[in-house]
Structure 1
Amino acid sequence: MESLDPAVDPPVDALQSVFHLYETQRDGDRILYYGESLVPEQMLIREAWPAFREAGYEIELASTETHEDIVVARPVDTTINGFPWKNVLLFVATIVSTLLVGAITWYYVPPSDLLADPLILLQAWPFTAAILGVLATHELGHYIMGRYHGVDVSLPYVIPFIFPFGTLGAIIQMRGQMPDRKALFDIGVAGPLAGLMATVVVTAIGLTQSPIQIPTRAIEQGGQAIIFNNPPLLNIIAATIGEPTAYNDPRMSVSPIIIGGWVGMFFTVLNLLPVGQLDGGHILRAILGSAQERVAALVPISLIGLAAYLHYGLGYAFNESVGLWAFWGVISALVAFRGPANPIDDTPLDIPRILLGVITFALGALCFLLVPIEVATVG
C-alpha cells in the first residue's frame, strides 16, 4: 500500500469505520482507495465526506469488474482555469442574435435596411440589454451562491437563438457535490430571486419609456401576429407606477424593453417547475427531501393535461400555448427522470429558508399565465 502524507492527503482514518481498505494508489491528482464498502454507498459518502472535504477533496464510490470497491478522491477545484472562451463567444453570439431579432421583430427595421447599413442593429440595444440583463442576473445569482458554498459551478452559458427573443436562455453547470440541503436551497433560490429583481427593474423601466410606432407597411401587410399576454406581476408593476401596458391606437406598441421583463417572468415559471435539477427541483428537494420526487412525477402529467384542457376544453390552437405546455410536459418528464441533486448531508432545512422557498414559489405563481401567447390576425 502506498504511504500517504497526513499533512497534504485526506485523512484515511475517516474511511475505517465504513470501508475495509486493501490498497491505495495515485492516478494523477486523484487518490484511489481499493477495498470493500461495509455500508451502502450513500452512508459511506455521508460518513467520510466531511473529513475529505475539509482536506480539499470530494469522493465517490465506484466498482471494478472484479466487484472490488474503489473510493475515488478528487481535489476540489473552484478556480476558473484559463480564459472562458466558450462563455464569452456564446455571450457575444447572443448579443448579435438578440440585436438582430430585436431590430427586425420589435423595432420593425426592414431586413433590406439592415443589409444596406448593418449598424442599424444597434437601434435594438435596449432590447438586448433588457433580455441579457435579466438572464445574466438570474444565472449570476446561482454562480455567486455556488461559489459562496464552495460548490464547483461554471460561469453562465448564454444560448443564442432566433425568433422571438434571440436567445433560449442561459444555464450554469454544477459539477461539484452538494454539501447539504442549505447549499442546495441557497443555490437554487438565488437565481429566481435575483432574476425577479432584475425583471421588476427592467419592466418598470420599459413601462416608463415612450411607445414604439408601428410602421404603416407592417399594419397593411396583415397576416398573423403573436400576442404576448400580461402575467399578473407585469400588471401589478404597471398599476403601481401608473403606466399603461397597451394603447388604444393600433399604430402604437409598448417599448421592447418590456419584452425583457416578460421573458424574465416566463423563464421564472419554467425554472421553478419542481422537477429534477431545475431551480424549483432544487428548492423543493431541499425543503421536502426525497419526497420531492413524488411531486416531480406529477408535473409532466399536469402540464400535458393543461395543454389538453386548452385545446379540447377551451378551443385554443396548437400554436396558442397548447404546444408550449405540451413541449414542457415532455421536457419536464425527461428532467424528472434524471432525478434531483442529492446533498451529502440530508439534515432538514431551517424554518426561515422554508418560508423563503414558499415566498419564491408564490412570486413565481404571479408570473404564471394559463395562455402566455395567442395568435391574432392583423391588418
Structure 2
Amino acid sequence: MAATSVPADVPDPDALSEAFHVYEVEITDDGVRYYGEPLTVRDEVVRRLAPTFRQAGYRVTMNYETGEFVLVATERSTSIDGVPWLNLLLFFVTAATTLFAGSQWYGLPVVENPLLLLQAWPFAVSVLGVLAVHELGHYALSRRHEVQATLPYFIPIPNVLGTLGAVIRMKDNIPSRAALFDIGVAGPLAGVGATVVVTVIGLSLDPISVGEVSLVADLELGFPLLIQAIAALMGEPLHYSDPGLMVNPVLVGGWVGAFVTFLNLLPVGQLDGAHVARAVVGDHIGTVQRVVPLALFGLAGYLYVFADGRGAFLWALWGVLTLVFGLAGGATTVDESPVGWKRQAVAVLTLVVGALCFAPVPIALTG
C-alpha cells in the first residue's frame, strides 16, 4: 500500500522534515518504508531521526534501492522472538566439532569407538564456556541499554579447536557513545574473567601423555603473560621437560579465551576494540584504525626475520583482515556526547587486559 500518511503509532512524515523529505510512504508486513530525499549526509539522517523512531518503538535504517532513498522503520523488541533455532543448531554442531577437536588433544581413538567423543567434554566445555561468557557479556549490556541484539551464533569448523568463535549481531541503533562503550567492553572483560577461571582449573588438573596424540602433537601453544602469571602464582608448569607430557587440554580453553580477547580488542571495524575506541575518541577512530594493520604487518615482518617465521603468517593474515574490517566501517551512535572519566579509566584497564592476553607466537608447528 502506498500512501503519504501513516498509522498513528509510527512517526509522521512531517516529523522527519528536518533531515528527510518524504514523498511516499509504504506500509509493509515488516514495518514502514519512507521514500524521499535526504537533506544531509546519510549517517547524519539516521543519527538525527533515530530518537524519533526509538520513542515510537521503532528502529530505523537508510537504504538506497533502485534509484531511491528509503528509510526503513521496523518494530523494536529486546525480547527473544520464538525459539532461536539457528542459534541452537549452530551451538550443537559446534559442541560436536569441539568434542571431536578435544578427542585429538586427549588422543582418543574415536574412529574405532565414536562414543569416546564424550570423554572430551572437559575440553569442549572450557572452549565453549569462555566463548559463551564473552558473547553473553555483550548480550547482557545490550539488554541493559535496550538495544536489540541476537543470542550468540557459534561458528563450527573442523580444526584443532573445533570452532572459529561466536558472534552476536546488534539489530538496533546505538543510543549513545556510553552505550556503545558498555556493550563493547562487556564481552572482553567477561571473557577474560572466564579465561582466568578456566586457566586455574586447567592448571590444577594433571598433565596428559602425548604418546598417542597424532594431530596436535606437533602443535606448540604460546601462552600470553596473563596465563604465565597465573601459572607462576600457582607454581604449575606450562611446559614439561618430558616430551611425552603436555598440559591438560582444559588449559587450552584458557588459551582460547586470551587469544580471542586480544583479537577482539583490536580497534578496527566492528570488533570490540573498535567499539571501545570509537566511544572514547569519537571520530579519531579512523586514525587509530589505520595504525593497526601497519603494526600487525610490522610484527609479521619482525617474526619472519628474527623468529624463523614462526607466527609471521598468522599476523600477516590478520593485517589483511584488519584492512578489510576497516573498510567495512564501524558502529555509529545517535548521541555523540563524550564518555566520562570513569569509562575512560575502564578503557585503560581494558587496554592493559588486552596486552596481558597477547602472545607474539600464539600457536606454531614444531614438527
Distance 1:341 1:96, change over 3 A: same
Instruction: Report the alpha carbon displacement of residue 258 of structure 1 after superposing the two structures with TM.
Output: 0.5
Q: Over residues 218-272 of structure 1, what are the superposed CA-to-partner deviations in whole Å (9 max), with x where a residue is unaligned?
A: 6xx9997121122100011112233222333332221111000001101111111
Instruction: Report the alpha carbon displacement of residue 42 of structure 1 after superposing the two structures with TM.
Output: 3.6
Q: Residues 78 and 152 of structure 1 are in contact (CA less than 8 Å); yes or no, is this contact kept in structure 2? A: yes
Q: Residues 14 and 47 of structure 1 are in contact (CA less than 8 Å); yes or no, is this contact kept in structure 2? A: no
**What corresponds to 1:146 in structure 2?**
142
**What corresponds to 2:178 in structure 1?**
182
Instruction: Report the alpha carbon displacement of residue 309 of structure 1 after superposing the two structures with TM.
Output: 1.4
Q: Over residues 24-58 of structure 1, what are the superposed CA-to-partner deviations in whole Å (9 max), with x where a residue is unaligned?
A: 44233422334444444344333332122011012
Instruction: Report the alpha carbon displacement of residue 364 of structure 1 after superposing the two structures with TM.
Output: 0.8
**Mean CA deviation greater in 333-342 or 245-254:** 245-254
**What corresponds to 1:214 in structure 2?**
210
State the Cα RMSD in Å. Answer: 2.3
SS at the partner of 2:206?
A: coil
Confirm whether residue 277 of structure 1 aligns to residue 276 of structure 2: no
Q: Over residues 279-335 of structure 1, what are the superposed CA-to-partner deviations in whole Å (9 max), with x where a residue is unaligned?
A: 1111111111111111111211221121111112x0423xx2111111111111111
- CA distance, structure 2, for counterparts of residue 235 and residue 3 of structure 1: 64
Distance 1:242 1:332, change over 3 A: same
**What corresponds to 1:124 in structure 2?**
120
SS at the partner of 2:175?
A: coil
After TM superposition, the structure 1 = structure 2 runs for residues 179-258 of structure 1, keeping only pairs within 5 Å, are 179-215=175-211, 225-258=218-251
**What corresponds to 1:53 in structure 2?**
54
Q: 2:308 aligned to 316, 319, 324, which one?
A: 316
Q: Residues 10 and 57 of structure 1 are in contact (CA less than 8 Å); yes or no, is this contact kept in structure 2? A: no
Question: TM-score, normalized by length of structure 1?
Answer: 0.89
Confirm whether residue 263 of structure 1 aligns to residue 256 of structure 2: yes
SS at the partner of 1:72?
A: strand
**What corresponds to 1:32 in structure 2?**
33
* Structure 1 unmatched ranges of 5 or more: none
1:213 maps to a residue whose letter is S
SS at the partner of 2:155?
A: strand
Confirm whether residue 357 of structure 1 aligns to residue 350 of structure 2: no
Instruction: Report the alpha carbon displacement of residue 23 of structure 1 after superposing the two structures with TM.
Output: 4.4
Aligned residues between the structures: 365
Q: Residues 221 and 363 of structure 2 are in contact (CA less than 8 Å); yes or no, is this contact kept in structure 1? A: yes
SS at the partner of 2:33?
A: strand
- CA distance, structure 2, for counterparts of residue 159 and residue 362 of structure 1: 28
2:343 maps to a residue whose letter is R
Distance 1:347 1:162, change over 3 A: same
Question: TM-score, normalized by length of structure 2?
Answer: 0.92
Distance 1:167 1:42, change over 3 A: closer
- CA distance, structure 2, for counterparts of residue 2 and residue 44 of structure 1: 20
Tell me which structure has the larger Cα radius of gyration: 1
**Mean CA deviation greater in 183-192 or 16-25:** 16-25
